[in-house]
Structure 1
Amino acid sequence: MTEPTEMQAVVCHAWGTPDTLTVETQPLPQPGKGEVRLRVRAAGVNFPDTLIIQGKYQFKPPLPFTPGSEVAGEVEALGEGVERVQVGDRVIAFLNVGGYATHAVAQAAQLIPMPPELSFEQAAAFVLASGTSYHALVDRAQLQAGETLLVLGASGGVGLAAIQIGKALGARVIAAASRDDKLEICRQNGADETINYASEDLRERVKTLTDGKGPNVIYDPVGGDYAEPAFRSIAWGGRYLVVGFAAGDIPRLPLNLPLLKGASLVGVFWGEFARRDPRGNARNLGTMLEWMKEGRMTLHVSGRYSLEQAGQALRDMEERNVTGKVVIVP
């Protein structure tokens, strides 16, 4: 049988909206030294993807490029010097770009063997959201059993992961989101209490749910208008995790607030952590995979899109019509 020489890929030619993305036929890439070529079976869709195509993310790839940073698939070809994987291996890969395609090239040293318990779609939804949330709650906040965790934007991919990780660590979890249907999904994923911050006063509801003590840890991937009222509700000695700014606005906090609460503002940059401490990141991911085997953690994949629907997937992400994770299936 003749080997394929072409692939299909979503391409961003200029900074812009999801509507400007195109699907094109390209030459099949050949892996270089230390690289492998993957047959992509599923690619995770993440909020940073919506920023990268607009040129608004801290990482700006040269144009044109194919978005998508996390994939699951099979090793199809080996570059020079690759010995740790074989053709046919099922793996998870985290890339800078290139995931929204039928094929992708990845560094062999950074591949994660795909657990047999996971489907390709689950595997593609695992690394970024779960890795971010575990790094945030364990490495950065040192969340302890018996503490209270408040998760903002709780129905998204990182939010649901934070709920499940918080529960696995023995915390009491309060989930905050903008719609009742999203909060129901949070409860299904383990949240003990919920807050609809579109219809309820966030500070007052937090005060009621914590008997005036406030949450010990606040997980914030949203930013925007809810950051300051959330921080004002934090417990003495609390840790406020700055994860991202899905609301679009980067909030500014009066610096007397951390002083008055003896509280900490803690930055979370999982991608840089994974680059600087790959062993620590692998250890974190391994812990969560064990939790999945034990039934203490699951992966919530709520939507599947084709390559031609990649723009719609990113629009749904921008407009917050997504719960948990969604994936592109080439």
Structure 2
Amino acid sequence: MSTTATEIVLPGRVEPAGLLITRRELPAPAAGQALVRVEASGVSFAEQQMRRGKYYDQPPFPFVPGYDLVGTVTTVGADVDPALVGTRVAALTKIGGWASHAVLDAADLVPVPAALDAAEAETFVVNGITAWQMLFRTAKVRAGQTILVLGANGGVGSTLVQLARANGIHVIGTASARHADAVRALGATWVDYRGEVARQVRALAPGGVDAVFDHVGGPGIADSFALLAPHGTLVSYGTAATKNDEGDSRLPVLKLFARLLLWNALPNKRNAHFFNLWAGKRNHAGFRARIAADLGQVFALAVRGDLRAQVAARIPLTEAARAMELAESRTVVGKVVVVA
């Protein structure tokens, strides 16, 4: 059995309007695979960088973007439990999510609770896994500690704030003034990122913060490290400050790696990490088990009401260009979701 899929193709380094809407025949799922009718996929910073050709390990053009998805299993291949058909699932894909259908390895699918609709659940997939692992696996933050979240109004940032607050962690969050009320509503103490962030944070946490989560990179990463308390942890997970830089897209990342390694080599009692969601073997059972366990924890908190889905907008798949433009406008709180 096969099906025709509508896909959004990134043909090269183009403006959002240059995205292509295509159709192709998908094969029936092979052994160990499932065909998923995609209901929602997100617009993250990764896709924004991919269209510029600046995401660190993106594939050659052309390809279908879409870092994660939520959908319903319609058909399964051999060696897959037939009971999976009809189940709503989530998956990390890195690419391929901006489509009406996708053939995926069944082992990569995580059940989605019925209490969450597709767009709500989608906001918790890559954002939730990233936030959970950075907070609890990398920085190992505990109740009663204080953290600084840069971009607390964004997809990962808003999830980080909520996860931390649900676990008794104090949060200082940066954002523009237009998002101040939204950041406060999430439970964080707002700091204006257009002001002197270091001064504002030191006034709130004179002894330093226990962890900083920094997606910005660039020269400001030094301030993030300097704001740490003794034995604190800096978790860097992006280089947004260099997104428009010309030249080799790998260079800013490699410079960041070098700086983090240098700081870790110094006797300063503070730690610095670059978070890579894909560290380890993607098809390894241990990697898949961690993804399923961590996303399961996030979904459980959402069902209990400890996490609120931050859906900035729901935009039809065929209007992915508009979704990309909105996500890049920096005017939204949460995540823009394309829905099929």
What's the TM-score, normalizing by structure 1? 0.90
- Structure 1: unaligned runs, 5 residues or longer: none
- What secondary structure sits across from 2:278 in the alignment? helix
Native 8 Å contact 1:29 1:104 kept in 2: no
Counterpart among 180, 186, 207 of residue 177 in structure 2:
180
- What secondary structure sits across from 2:78 in the alignment? coil
**2:47 aligned partner:** 49
Distance 1:181 1:29 in 2: 47
Distance 1:236 1:287 in 2: 30
Percent of residue pairs identical: 32
- What secondary structure sits across from 1:155 in the alignment? coil
Native 8 Å contact 1:238 1:261 kept in 2: no
- Structure 2: unaligned runs, 5 residues or longer: 244-251
Native 8 Å contact 1:143 1:169 kept in 2: no
Relative to structure 1, the CA distance from residue 63 to residue 81 in structure 2 (aligned partners, 3 Å threshold; closer, same or farther) is farther
Native 8 Å contact 1:223 1:244 kept in 2: yes
Distance 1:86 1:294 in 2: 25
**1:267 aligned partner:** 274
Distance 2:80 2:133 in 1: 29
**1:189 aligned partner:** 186
Relative to structure 1, the CA distance from residue 232 to residue 96 in structure 2 (aligned partners, 3 Å threshold; closer, same or farther) is closer
Comparing 10-19 and 31-40, the one that deviates more: 10-19
Which amino acid in structure 2 is aligned with residue 233 of structure 1?
A: L
Structure 1 residue 16: Cα displacement: 3.0
Distance 1:85 1:93 in 2: 18
Distance 2:144 2:3 in 1: 56
**2:16 aligned partner:** 18
Native 8 Å contact 1:220 1:244 kept in 2: yes
Which amino acid in structure 1 is aligned with residue 277 of structure 2?
A: W
Structure 1 residue 284: Cα displacement: 1.6
Counterpart among 180, 199, 206 of residue 204 in structure 1:
199
Relative to structure 1, the CA distance from residue 12 to residue 22 in structure 2 (aligned partners, 3 Å threshold; closer, same or farther) is same
**2:246 aligned partner:** none
Counterpart among 228, 231, 240 of residue 225 in structure 2:
231
Distance 1:287 1:183 in 2: 28
Counterpart among 207, 218, 227 of residue 213 in structure 1:
207
Which amino acid in structure 1 is aligned with residue 181 of structure 2?
A: E
Native 8 Å contact 1:300 1:324 kept in 2: yes
**1:297 aligned partner:** 307
Which amino acid in structure 2 is aligned with residue 41 of structure 1?
A: E
Relative to structure 1, the CA distance from residue 172 to residue 230 in structure 2 (aligned partners, 3 Å threshold; closer, same or farther) is same
Relative to structure 1, the CA distance from residue 283 to residue 122 in structure 2 (aligned partners, 3 Å threshold; closer, same or farther) is same
Root-mean-square deviation (Å): 2.2
Native 8 Å contact 1:258 1:264 kept in 2: no
**2:38 aligned partner:** 40
Distance 1:284 1:25 in 2: 34
Relative to structure 1, the CA distance from residue 104 to residue 224 in structure 2 (aligned partners, 3 Å threshold; closer, same or farther) is same
CA displacement, residues 90-140 of structure 1 (integer Å, 9 cap, x when unaligned): 111221321111111111111011101110111121110010011001000
Relative to structure 1, the CA distance from residue 180 to residue 46 in structure 2 (aligned partners, 3 Å threshold; closer, same or farther) is same
Distance 1:274 1:118 in 2: 30
CA displacement, residues 9-64 of structure 1 (integer Å, 9 cap, x when unaligned): 11122233322211122224432221111111111211111122333223322433
Native 8 Å contact 2:31 2:79 kept in 1: yes
Distance 1:274 1:132 in 2: 17
Relative to structure 1, the CA distance from residue 4 to residue 107 in structure 2 (aligned partners, 3 Å threshold; closer, same or farther) is closer
Comparing 255-264 and 42-51, the one that deviates more: 255-264
CA displacement, residues 77-97 of structure 1 (integer Å, 9 cap, x when unaligned): 212222265321111122132
Relative to structure 1, the CA distance from residue 158 to residue 78 in structure 2 (aligned partners, 3 Å threshold; closer, same or farther) is same
**1:167 aligned partner:** 165
**2:324 aligned partner:** 314
- What secondary structure sits across from 1:63 in the alignment? coil
Relative to structure 1, the CA distance from residue 151 to residue 273 in structure 2 (aligned partners, 3 Å threshold; closer, same or farther) is farther
Counterpart among 104, 107, 112 of residue 105 in structure 2:
107
Comparing 158-167 and 246-255, the one that deviates more: 246-255
Relative to structure 1, the CA distance from residue 312 to residue 118 in structure 2 (aligned partners, 3 Å threshold; closer, same or farther) is same
**1:64 aligned partner:** 62
Comparing 156-165 and 248-257, the one that deviates more: 248-257
Relative to structure 1, the CA distance from residue 326 to residue 171 in structure 2 (aligned partners, 3 Å threshold; closer, same or farther) is same
